[in-house]
């Protein structure tokens, strides 16, 4: 499924009354911070125990919350619309005396006016200044930054630096601030809670004891100081109550997480579905992770860090009946699932647990390398054609799911294979996984059996509509050919299913194991139909960061195209001896050529599990 980044990002909160229940009555994205503010007596609920997290906040209420949070000394004043005996007067005048709030030019304060997000940011900035917190700024890149008045910008930049304000996510992965929008009670509570962290020391230390986090009571003004204080393997750094740095563990996407290069500007890939990303390190701005053997970086607010001592379970591989299975585990929900991967490697023992980040190097329970090897269909270039006929593909589907509409589409898959040079067995396997054999709602209502356009935030609404299954197959094959296999396209990183390091899986799907799952279905179909495809080709890869793919076995002629990365996969059709060495004839990834030639000394064979 092609997906776009959708982030749930924290913002702000509030309320005033005399009733104080023991727990938040409504679950919200900011619930933990709301509860913390309630527990501190800064915010209260109404007589029914409702904290009304989505209700707008007034200027008078917010001033009162800040006054309570900072325990400001009493003050006096003479705002025209704030009588000294009114309910909110003490908080307003205390905040006014501290220089945190000001009134309008006509002498009014506007206690019942709703407070905007930019006004809230300004008041928080003044509160930090009142508590002598250094006014350090952080560059902002909100999509609506141009709407911020110059008089407000610095306050917002200070808030961003102390991670008091994060922004509201856009569908394209950027963030907006919405300076003129009204702030809600839950948003107000969140910024006040974070302000208190910045005042007392933004970085807190905790330890893992019996699988739970226990605060040490120590907090630090700077990340560096807190990092230095982490002396034990069980030490954990917290920011706003969230794990910010650990000694070892995993990083789990809470929604969609963009994986960047170290400069946090270039996107490498994206991940979803509670993937277990190996944690490497963290600094103030990013988390360093490993994914499919590659190093990447994610933003703190896109993942949840889980210390090793708090891991309840994890995904693993297991051999059963001569087949290799992957048992998936989602750390945040605890959900589990299992899928066949392919043939069991000879170096694995039945019933034992094995672990792998990249589907190539497998570790045993002790962390020792048990062996290495690729599953054939996971690294089979998709320019190859399946040996199965349309009738045989239909036969398989009919036997597994007789009522599936895919049972009548074998001819369409083979037509698309011939027209666009995209493997028909791969396309059928993807359709089986994506549409549950063509029975999903999107498949039934929209003839969309590949989930094209079905973005995470609303898959059904965003999924593309096709006039027929035949039209969907044709359009899908065309897209894979032009956008994912064609070596000059943006998404091309190898014409294989692959993983998050190379292949279609890098940019096509946020599911870390999307390629492995489809390869497993290809393996199952092939096994059921007589193993006509397995092992039919030798597969090799480039071993340099730059390799030309030629029109003929001659370096004097122009190249068809160039692979600009190490590990570019290809099949070997033939070996040709030339004066300058051995050349491999292969299938061209180019949309303009059928075959191509690669010098063998720039390549190596891939070890396949057989």
Of 98-102, 169-173, 575-579, least confident by mean pLDDT is 169-173
The answer to whether residue 553 scores a pLDDT higher than 50 is yes
- Whether 33 and 188 have beta carbons less than 8 Å apart is answered as no
Q: What is the pLDDT of residue 274?
A: 85
Is the pLDDT at 17 greater than 80? The verdict is no
**Tens digits of residue pLDDT in 111-120:** 999 999 999 9
Comparison of pLDDT for 224 and 3, the residue scoring more: 224
pLDDT at residue 375 is higher than 50 = yes
Decide: 585 and 573 in contact? Cβ < 8 Å. yes
Residue 44's pLDDT is 82
pLDDT at 468 over 50: yes
Collapse the DSSP code of 375 into the 3-class scheme (helix H, G, I; strand E, B; otherwise coil) and give the result: coil
Q: pLDDT-derived band of residue 434, with 50, 70 and 90 as boundaries?
A: very high
Between helix 89-97 and helix 59-70 the angle, nearest 10°, is 70
Average of per-residue pLDDT across 486-493: 94
Which residues, in sequence order, are CB contacts of 289 under 8 Å at separation 6+? 251, 259, 277, 278, 279, 280, 295, 296, 297, 298, 303
Residue 542 pairs in a beta bridge with 603
Residues 6+ apart with CB under 8 A from 441: 460
Task: Answer for the pair 298, 259: CB distance below 8 angstroms, yes or no.
Answer: yes
Q: Residue 15: which pLDDT band, with cuts at 50, 70 and 90? A: very low
| Rounded average pLDDT over 505-533 | 97
Q: What is the pLDDT of residue 18?
A: 26
Asked if 585 contacts 570 with a C-beta cutoff of 8 angstroms, the reply is no
**What pLDDT was estimated at residue 24?**
42
Tell me phi and psi for residue 581, to 5 degrees: 130, -170
Residue 13 confidence (pLDDT)? 27
pLDDT tier for residue 508 given thresholds of 50, 70 and 90: very high
Identify the bridge partners of residue 253 per DSSP, sorted by sequence position. Answer: 303
Average pLDDT over residues 5-16: 29
Is residue 16 scored above 50 in pLDDT? no
Q: According to the model, what pLDDT value does residue 328 have?
A: 97
Domain-wise residue ranges, the chain: 31-199, 203-310, 316-373, 379-529, 538-605
Cβ atoms of 285 and 302 closer than 8 Å: no
Which pLDDT does position 178 carry in this prediction? 94
Tell me the C-alpha distance between 134 and 128, whole Å.
8
Cα 227 vs. chain centroid, distance in angstroms?
Answer: 26
Q: Which fold has domain 538-605?
A: SH3 type barrels. (2.30.30)
Q: For the structural domain made of 203-310, what CATH number should be given?
A: 2.30.30.40
456 pLDDT band, cuts 50/70/90, is low
% of residues, the chain, pLDDT over 70: 94
pLDDT value at 546 more than 60? yes
pLDDT at 455 over 80: no
Provide the CATH topology of domain 379-529: Lysozyme (1.10.530)
pLDDT level of residue 4 (50, 70, 90 thresholds) = very low
Please determine, for residue 462, whether its predicted confidence score (pLDDT) is greater than 50: yes
Q: Which residues contact 523 (CB under 8 A, 6 or more apart)?
A: 340, 341, 342, 343, 375, 376, 377, 534
Contact 408, 398 (CB under 8 A): no
pLDDT greater than 50 at residue 25: no
CA distance 562 to 469: 35
- Residue 585, strand partner residues: 574, 597
> Which residues make Cβ contacts (< 8 Å) with residue 245, sequence separation at least 6?
226, 227, 230, 236, 237, 281, 282, 305
Mean pLDDT across the chain, nearest whole number?
A: 91
pLDDT tens digits for range 53-93:
899 999 999 999 999 999 999 999 889 999 999 999 999 99
* CA–CA distance, 207 with 233 (Å, rounded to integer): 9
Say what the pLDDT of residue 320 is.
Answer: 96
Burial of 545 (0-12, 13-18, 19+ CB in 10 A): exposed
Q: Are 448 and 431 in contact (CB under 8 A)?
A: no
Indicate the helix (H) or strand (E) that contains 415: helix 410-420
**What residue ranges in 373-472 does DSSP mark as E strands?**
none
Q: What percent of the chain has pLDDT over 90?
A: 81
The mean per-residue pLDDT over the stretch 535-558 comes to 94
Report whether pLDDT(160) > 70. Answer: yes
* Confidence tier at 30 by pLDDT (50, 70, 90): low
Strand order across the 336-343 sheet: 316-320, 323-329, 336-343
Say how far apart CA 499 and CA 511 lie, in whole Å: 9
Q: Which of 68-77, 197-206, 562-571 has the lowest mean pLDDT?
A: 197-206
Determine which of 218-232, 319-333, 389-403 has the lowest per-residue pLDDT on average.
218-232
What is the pairing mode between strands 287-291 and 277-282? antiparallel
Are the CB atoms for 325 and 339 separated by under 8 Å?
A: yes
The full 3-state SS of 229-278, as one line of letters, equals HCCCCCEEEEECCEEEECCCEEEEECCCEEEECCCCCCEEEEECCCCCEE
Average pLDDT over residues 133-141: 89
237 forms beta bridges with: 205, 245
Tokens 């004891």 belong to: 209
What is the DSSP pairing of strand 569-572 with strand 538-542?
antiparallel
Q: Which whole number is the average pLDDT over 514-530?
A: 98
Do the two domains 203-310 and 379-529 of this chain adopt the same fold? Answer: no
Q: Which two tokens stand for residue 309?
A: 């001592």
Q: Rounded mean pLDDT of 333-339?
A: 95
Least confidently predicted of 167-171, 283-287, 403-407: 167-171
Q: What is the mean pLDDT of residues 406-426?
A: 98
- Which span out of 144-148, 214-218, 430-434 was modeled with the highest average pLDDT? 430-434
């Amino acid at each position: 499924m092609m997906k776009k980044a959708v982030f749930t990002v924290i913002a702000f909160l509030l309320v005033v009354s005399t009733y104080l229940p023991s727990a938040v009555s409504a679950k919200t994205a900011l619930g933990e911070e709301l509860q913390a503010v309630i527990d501190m007596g800064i915010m209260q609920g109404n007589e029914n125990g409702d904290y009304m997290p989505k209700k707008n906040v007034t200027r008078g209420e917010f001033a009162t919350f800040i006054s309570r949070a900072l325990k400001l000394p009493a003050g006096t004043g003479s705002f025209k619309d704030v009588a000294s005996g009114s309910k909110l007067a003490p908080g307003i005048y205390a905040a006014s005396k501290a220089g945190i709030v000001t009134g309008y030019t006509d002498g009014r304060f506007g206690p019942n006016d709703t407070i905007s997000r930019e006004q809230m940011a300004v008041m928080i900035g003044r509160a930090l200044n009142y508590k002598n917190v250094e006014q350090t700024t952080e560059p902002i890149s909100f999509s609506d930054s141009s709407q911020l008045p110059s008089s407000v910008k610095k306050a917002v930049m200070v808030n961003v630096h102390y991670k008091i304000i994060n922004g509201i996510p856009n569908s394209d992965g950027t963030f907006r601030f919405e300076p003129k929008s009204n702030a809600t009670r839950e948003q107000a509570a969140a910024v006040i809670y974070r302000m208190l962290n910045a005042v007392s020391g933004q970085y807190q230390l905790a330890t893992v004891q019996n699988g739970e986090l226990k605060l040490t009571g120590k907090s630090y003004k700077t990340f560096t100081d807190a990092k230095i204080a982490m002396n034990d393997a069980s030490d954990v750094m917290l920011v706003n109550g969230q794990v910010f740095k650990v000694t070892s563990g995993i990083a789990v996407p809470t929604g969609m997480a963009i994986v960047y290069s170290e400069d946090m500007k270039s996107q490498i890939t994206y991940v979803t579905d509670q993937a277990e990303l190996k944690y490497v390190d963290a600094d103030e701005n990013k988390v360093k992770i490993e994914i499919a053997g590659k190093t990447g970086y994610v933003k703190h607010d896109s993942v949840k860090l889980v210390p090793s001592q708090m891991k309840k379970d994890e995904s693993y591989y297991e051999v059963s009946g001569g087949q290799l299975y992957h048992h998936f585990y989602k750390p945040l929900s605890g959900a589990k699932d299992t899928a066949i991967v392919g043939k069991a490697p000879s170096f694995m023992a039945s019933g034992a647990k094995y672990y792998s980040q990249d589907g190539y190097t497998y570790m045993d329970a002790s962390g020792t390398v048990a062996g290495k090897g690729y599953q054939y269909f996971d690294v089979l270039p998709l320019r190859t054609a399946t040996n199965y006929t349309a009738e045989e593909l239909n036969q398989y589907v009919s036997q597994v799911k007789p009522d599936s509409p895919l049972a009548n589409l074998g001819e369409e898959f083979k037509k698309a294979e011939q027209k666009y040079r995209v493997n028909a067995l791969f396309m059928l396997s993807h359709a089986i996984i994506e549409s549950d054999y063509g029975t999903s709602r999107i498949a039934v209502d929209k003839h969309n059996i590949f989930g094209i356009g079905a973005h995470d935030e609303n898959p059904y609404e965003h999924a593309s509509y096709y006039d027929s299954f035949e039209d969907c197959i044709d359009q899908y094959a065309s897209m894979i050919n032009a956008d994912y296999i064609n070596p000059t396209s943006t998404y091309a990183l190898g014409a294989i299913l692959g993983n998050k390091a190379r292949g279609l899986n890098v940019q096509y799907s946020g599911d870390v194991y999307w390629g492995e799952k489809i390869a497993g279905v290809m393996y199952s179909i092939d096994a059921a139909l007589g193993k006509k495809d397995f092992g039919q080709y030798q597969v090799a890869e480039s071993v340099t960061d730059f390799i030309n793919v030629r029109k003929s076995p001659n370096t004097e002629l122009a190249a068809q195209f160039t692979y600009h990365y190490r590990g570019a996969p290809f099949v070997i059709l033939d070996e040709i001896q030339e004066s300058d060495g051995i050349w491999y004839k292969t299938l061209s990834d180019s949309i303009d050529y059928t075959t191509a030639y690669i010098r063998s000394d720039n390549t190596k064979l891939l070890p396949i599990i057989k």
